[in-house]
A and B are shown apart, each in its own frame.
Chain A
Amino acid sequence: MYTEKVMDHFQHPRNMGEIENASGVGTVGNAKCGDIMRIYLDIDENQIIRDVKFKTFGCGAAVATSSMATELVKGKNIQEAMEVTNKAVMEALDGLPPVKVHCSLLAEEAIHAALWDYAEKNGIEIKGLSKPKSDIHEGEEEEEEEY
């Protein structure tokens, strides 16, 4: 079902974790659909992505696309990071099953959401970047159930 690269990134996710006081954090997806991705960016004064981390709730493809996306943007400047599309992520993973293509879109959106957060915090505009669409915070105040 998955390519070797997808399995590799799922089994050995790169850059998994959090960054404290990150320059930008973006969370996209929806737990209802079974996928949430969060990207943390550490961006230096030259707008170079010094470090990147991710956390993902989702299927094998969701984890692998997040992991690959972090690899593709690490060390890049923010304009270069904007060019990391879902297609690029998918190609780097040697493809995804058709039902999992949306995971790669989510990875692209997560990077954009984190860049948007960085841009907002610093009062700058990033060419080609618009406000992220997906926002999980809509349904956040759901009741906590006891298990």
Chain B
Amino acid sequence: MGKIIYLDNAATTRTAPEVLDAMIPYFTEKYGNPSTVYSIGSQNKDVITKQREIIAEALGAQSNEIYFTAGGSESDNWVLKATADAYADKGNHIITTKIEHHAILHSCEYLEKKGVEVTYVGVDENGVVDLEELKAAIRPTTILISVMFANNEIGTIQPIREIGEIAHEHGILFHTDAVQAFGQVPINVDEYHIDMLSASGHKFNGPKGIGFAYIRKGVKIRSFIHGGAQERKRRAGTENVPGIVGIGTAAARAMRTMKERTDKEIELRDYLIERVMNEIPYTKLNGHREKRLPNNANFCFRFVEGESLLIMLDMKGICGSSGSACTSGSLDPSHVLLAIGLPHEIAHGSLRLTLGEDTTKEDIDYVVDCLKKIVADLRAMSPLYEDFVRKQNR
């Protein structure tokens, strides 16, 4: 196959060459275990501290509030389960939303089986959390509010500061799953009243298998992985030194390039949205028009099914996704698209394109040109479209 146009950067990103370069010595020469006495090991302790500081600075946090984990899912699981456990004396109620990632939703379902009560707050047609519904859901027993910073499918950015304020006015802890947002939009944990935050390295040109949790000083949650005394006794296991160097380098890089990169992405994203909406009929843009991730475009093409669309795009060398990659094993349309009120049959025809730092205007033009033809071909094959046209002509 010829050139690949990779527009699935919300699924994962390419590890940046400077990130990989920074990691390699920690596989080859500096492979020592940080918990040891000799220098090739113990030196790595300082290396880890350095990465922790980089990430803390990016969030306006203290370095001893950053805990390295194996990724976003682990951070989400840890925060939810350990909070439910540690604050059981105070209450057993958690508030989250209907559009969270499955790492949150399935952890909540697990906790419900253990007797925790969970309220899933709805969103409006743009995917923005309903703040009134959120406020109304608060009970004296509410211990945690968990709302994602930005949605992984439709890209909508939530009113995090307002949600944080609401949580803190009521003395409730506030967690945000910032897996999609970190490195894409500025985040300050104090300004946004965030007590806990999850992020994942491979979403911002870092390696896979490494993430972190920010846990504000004073939040009492205990370890989720038991064993050695790593990560201030809160996350056992020999540190993934190459991964930690990778995520630290990637975080520094993401902060350094954020403004320029996202300005360019926003321009190209808007160009993509404009062309698609103008040139392909019966198409809907999902998610908020402005309050969305710089690189996210999500459409529904009526009378067309998503998987067919993806295979056709793949044959043109274009990588996109329909719903989130994690849902592709299931037959149900995305819970996010249903939560914004789309009927099932329209939700089946969704396409998410997420730009990257290397995406060019030529790429977008090629993608839109291919997309126009593919959607037209699939509609020509669709009995739903046939019925629709017949109805129009009646």
* A interface residue numbers (CB < 8 A to B): 7, 10-11, 13, 16, 18, 27, 31-38, 55-60, 62-63, 99, 140, 142, 144-145, 147
Contacts and interface: CB of A to CB of B under 8 A. Distances in A.
| Max chain B Cβ within 10 angstroms of own Cβ: one of A13, A34, A60, A145 | A34
| Residue among A27, A59, A63, A144 with most chain B CB within 10 A | A59
Interface string B376-394: 0000111111110001000
B344 A31 contact: yes
A25 to B, nearest CB: 10
A142 B308 contact: no
A87 B348 CA distance: 26
Interface centre among A60, A140, A147 (most CB of B within 10 A): A147
Contacts of B281: 147
A2 B344 CA distance: 25
15 contacts: A7-B311, A11-B315, A13-B381, A16-B380, A31-B344, A34-B331, A55-B386, A56-B382, A59-B305, A59-B306, A60-B307, A144-B391, A147-B282, A147-B283, A147-B284
Contacts of A140: 387
B382 A55 contact: yes
A36 B383 contact: yes
B124 interface: no
B333 interface: yes
Contacts of A142: 343
B115 interface: no
Nearest to A147: B284
Given A99-B329, A99-B331, A55 B308 contact: no
Nearest to B302: A147
Contact of A34 (B283, B305, B311, B385): B305
B327 to A, nearest CB: 12
Given A36-B382, A62-B308, A147-B283, 5 more contacts: A31-B384, A32-B343, A37-B383, A63-B308, A140-B387
A62 B315 CA distance: 18
A57 B331 contact: no
A36 B308 contact: no
Contacts of A58: 305, 308
Contacts of A36: 382-384
A74 B284 CA distance: 39
A16 B383 CA distance: 11
B307 A56 contact: no
B326 to A, nearest CB: 15
B18 to A, nearest CB: 34
Contacts of A13: 381
A62 B344 contact: no
B204 interface: no
B381 A56 contact: yes
Nearest to B322: A59
B26 interface: no
B274 interface: no
Contacts of B387: 140
B345 interface: yes
A141 to B, nearest CB: 11
Nearest to B303: A57
Contacts of A31: 344-345, 348, 384
A145 B343 CA distance: 10
B344 A55 contact: no
A62 B305 contact: yes
